[in-house]
Amino acid sequence: MTRLRGAIHKIEADATAKVVLVASSGPGVFCAGADLKERRHMSSSHVKEYANSLRSTFSYFEALSIPTIAVIEGAALGGENATLGLPETGLAIIPGAGGTQRLPRITGRSRAKELIFTGRRCDATEAVLMGTSKLLRSSRGGLRQGS
C-alpha cells in the first residue's frame, strides 16, 4: 500500500498526467481480495492498521484531480467477464477499506445493504447499471498500453 500511495502522489505531482489506469500485473484476476490466511495471524491492532492503510489509499484515488480507470479483466473480489462483490461478508467479515461507506454513496443505501448483507456478486453489466462502474468494453481487445 505504501508503494501504491507513493505512485499516486507521484502521478498527482506530474502535470503531464491526464489519466490513471489501474490494471493487474497478472492475467485473469484484478483483485482477489485480502489474504485471509495471512490475516489469521495478525493481531487486532495490525488488522486495524492495515484496514486504515487500505482506506487511506482508496481515499487518495478518490481525491486525484485526474480520472482513474480500473482496467478489470477477470475477478474483482473484470470487460464483460468481470464479477464484482464483497465476498468477505460470506465469511462474517465486515468489508474493509471504506467499501461500506463508498458503496451506499454510489448505489444508494438499499442496494448497498443488499450487496453487503448477502455477499451477492454482480456481473459487469449490472455493475454499470447500478453505477459502480461507468463503462463496459469488450475484453476481446485486451489492454493496449500507450508508448
pLDDT at 13: 92
Does residue 51 form part of some domain? yes
Average pLDDT over residues 87-111: 78
| Residues 104-113 pLDDT 10s | 888 889 888 8
Can you give the CATH number for the domain in which 43 is found? 3.90.226.10
In the predicted model, what is the mean pLDDT of the chain? 76
Does residue 147 form part of some domain? no
Range name among 5-9, 19-23, 69-73, 108-112 with the lowest pLDDT average: 69-73
Does residue 140 form part of some domain? no
Helices within 14-147 (DSSP H only): 36-40, 44-63, 99-107, 109-118, 124-130
pLDDT at 145: 44
- Counted domains in the chain: 1
Query: How many DSSP H helices and E strands does the chain contain?
Result: 6, 6
pTM summary value: 0.51
Does residue 135 form part of some domain? no
Does residue 65 form part of some domain? yes
Does residue 144 form part of some domain? no
Please name the residues in contact with 19: beta carbons below 8 A apart, sequence gap of 6 or more: 66, 67, 68, 69
77 vs 101, more confident: 101
Average pLDDT over residues 73-101: 66
Does residue 108 form part of some domain? yes
Residue 82 has pLDDT above 90, yes or no: no
Residue range(s) defining the domain that contains residue 26: 2-130
